[in-house]
Amino acid sequence: MQYTKAFFIKLALTIGMLLIVLGLFFNISIMDSIIIGIVLTFVAFVGDMIVLPKVGNMIAATGDLLLAFLVVWGMGSYLFDEGVSLLSAALLSSLFIGGGELYYHRYLRDHVFVNVDKPNNFSRVNHSHRLQMEVAEEFHDLQPKESDKK
Give the CA radius of gyration of the chain: 26
Predicted model pTM: 0.74
Q: Low-confidence residues of the chain, pLDDT below 70?
A: 115-133, 136, 138-150
Q: Do 32 and 138 touch, CB atoms closer than 8 A? A: no
DSSP 79-138: HS-TTS-HHHHHHHHHHHHHHHHHHHHHHIIIII-SSTTSTT-TTS--GGG---------
pLDDT in tens, 33-75: 999 999 999 999 999 999 888 888 888 889 999 999 999 999 9
What's the DSSP call for residue 144?
P
